[in-house]
């Protein structure tokens, strides 16, 4: 077994932390956080609980949207003095819809080594379990809160190939889904919430079906919204047979539901999708 790469001075470490389940913390992340000279955290009170859980006691400084210019300079000063610094966010991978890219940019500009530690990321976690195409996808972070800007934002992604991934606040989820339906049409969508936590849930269906489901109660927790490719984009990149094969391999849908979903994704009629699904099923049974 190879020894872990030793800590080096004057290095900025980008350390991913769990998005919910503390068992998702990596051994390497625990080690690095225990060895650095300074930890820059989005919310020091939140991060202190995480560090205490793993028995880590290190100097903490806050680094968030409204103080990143001031604190960024202080962190760079520490790095210039030869100190090692770890950047963490409240949950997941820093710099992904979280503060940090400016600090990384400035460190790189000064020739300071930047070392990423891989770990949890809500967008990738949700995508991996979505059943939607993963070979091409666009992560667009949080859409604007105002409807007009949000619809323009969504419209700008209408012709993109692959799966679309958004983060959204729970109290705006229904409004955003309504805008997705208005701008992109009746696409297949997935709402993944509270990933890795006790009340983890993935709500799947057409936009209207998911709207009906989430409108029945109050949505809580962190939300990832995944939107299936449009018909034109997916027809160019993935044949109907591939779409059906992927859905059938999951083994969680009836043939009727598979045909319905494949028709929505690929833009063919439901009868054509069902006929092709029957043919594939018969081929599999003969084998």
CA 195 to CA 193: how far, in whole Å? 5
**Which among 231, 212, 222, 216 has a CA at the least distance from the CA of 272?**
231
Q: What is the length of the chain?
A: 287
Domain range summary for the chain, segments of one domain joined by +: 12-120, 138-155+163-227, 239-286
Return the percentage of the chain with pLDDT > 90, whole number: 64
222: tokens are 């962190």
Superfamily of domain covering 12-120: Tetrapyrrole methylase, N-terminal domain (3.40.1010.10)
Task: Please provide the DSSP assignment of 227-243 as one string.
Answer: EPPPHHHHHHHS-HHHH
239: tokens are 């044949």
> Higher pLDDT residue, 282 or 268?
282
270 — pLDDT class (breaks 50, 70, 90) = confident
How does pLDDT run across 116-156, given as a tens digit for each residue? 999 999 999 999 999 999 989 999 999 999 999 999 999 89
Distances (CA, A) of 256 to 76, 248, 280: 58, 11, 13
Question: Which residues are registered as beta bridge partners of 60?
Answer: 39
pTM: 0.77
Task: Please provide the DSSP assignment of 51-117 as one string.
Answer: HHHTT----EEE--TTTHHHHHHHHHHHHHTT--EEEE-SSBSTTSSSS-HHHHHHHHHTT--EEEE
Question: Which residues are registered as beta bridge partners of 61?
Answer: 40
1 — pLDDT class (breaks 50, 70, 90) = very low
CA 267 to CA 184: how far, in whole Å? 13
61 — pLDDT class (breaks 50, 70, 90) = very high
User: 167 and 97 in contact (C-beta within 8 Å)?
Assistant: yes
Describe the chain by its helix, strand, coil percentages, rounded to 5: 45, 15, 40
For the domain made up of 138-155+163-227, give the CATH fold. Answer: 3.30.950
What does DSSP assign to residue 271?
H
């Amino acid at each position: 077994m190879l020894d872990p790469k030793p800590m080096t001075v004057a290095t900025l470490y980008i350390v991913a932390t769990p998005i919910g389940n503390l068992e998702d913390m990596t051994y390497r992340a625990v080690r690095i956080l225990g060895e650095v000279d300074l930890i820059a955290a989005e919310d020091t009170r939140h991060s202190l609980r995480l560090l205490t859980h793993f028995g880590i006691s290190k100097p903490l400084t806050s680094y968030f949207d409204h103080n990143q210019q001031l604190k960024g300079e202080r962190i760079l000063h520490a790095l210039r003095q030869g100190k090692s610094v770890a950047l963490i966010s409240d949950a997941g991978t820093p710099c992904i819809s979280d503060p940090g890219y400016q600090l990384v940019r400035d460190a790189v500009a000064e020739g300071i080594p930047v070392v990423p530690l891989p770990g949890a990321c809500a967008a990738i976690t949700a995508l991996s379990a979505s059943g939607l195409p993963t070979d091409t996808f666009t992560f667009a972070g949080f859409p604007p809160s105002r409807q007009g800007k949000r619809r323009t934002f969504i419209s700008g992604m209408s012709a993109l190939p692959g799966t679309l991934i958004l983060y959204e606040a729970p109290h705006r989820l229904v409004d955003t889904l309504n805008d997705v339906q208005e701008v992109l049409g009746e696409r297949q969508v997935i709402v993944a919430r509270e990933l890795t936590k006790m009340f983890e849930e993935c709500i799947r269906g057409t936009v209207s079906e998911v709207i009906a489901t989430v409108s029945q109660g109050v949505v809580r927790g962190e939300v990832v919204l995944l939107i299936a490719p449009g018909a034109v984009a997916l027809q160019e990149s993935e044949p109907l047979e591939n779409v059906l094969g992927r859905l059938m391999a999951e083994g969680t849908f009836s043939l009727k539901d598979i045909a319905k979903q494949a028709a929505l994704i690929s833009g063919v009629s439901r009868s054509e999708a069902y006929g092709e699904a029957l043919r594939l099923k018969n081929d599999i049974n003969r084998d």
